[in-house]
């Protein structure tokens, strides 16, 4: 499902967007210096696939990694994802633990 969609970094609204069947999943963020604060995850209720959230978050983290930014997850759902995926933990800024 996620592979066919295009991840968009809408810097005007400060959110990553993924459109699936006329529905919009998004992660809101705040960018400060070389850190990106992921503040809110919004998944439409119509998307019931359990793996969608993981795949969507992985896409966003991969794109952030390509931009060489540090990640500060302020949303509990995003922090939970980061804790369960060791490869993204190294993206935390120095001194930040989750």
Q: By C-alpha distance, which of 82, 33, 34, 31 is closest to 58? A: 82
Q: Rounded to two decimals, what is the model's pTM?
A: 0.90
Q: Which residue has the tokens 């699936």?
A: 20
What's the CATH number of domain 7-89, 3.20.20.140, 3.40.630.30, 3.30.70.260, 3.30.565.10? 3.40.630.30
pLDDT in tens, 10-68: 999 999 999 988 889 999 999 998 999 999 999 999 888 878 999 999 999 999 999 99
DSSP character at residue 55: H
Name the band, by pLDDT with cuts 50, 70 and 90, for residue 1.
low
């Amino acid at each position: 499902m996620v592979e066919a969609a295009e991840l968009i970094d809408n810097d005007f609204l400060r959110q990553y967007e993924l459109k699936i069947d006329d529905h919009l999943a998004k992660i809101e963020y705040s960018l400060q210096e070389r850190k990106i604060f992921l503040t809110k995850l919004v998944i439409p209720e119509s998307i019931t696939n359990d793996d969608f959230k993981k795949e969507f978050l992985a896409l966003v983290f991969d794109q952030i990694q390509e931009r060489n930014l540090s990640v500060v997850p302020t949303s509990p759902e995003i922090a939970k994802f980061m804790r369960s995926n060791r490869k993204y933990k190294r993206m935390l800024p120095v001194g930040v633990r989750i």
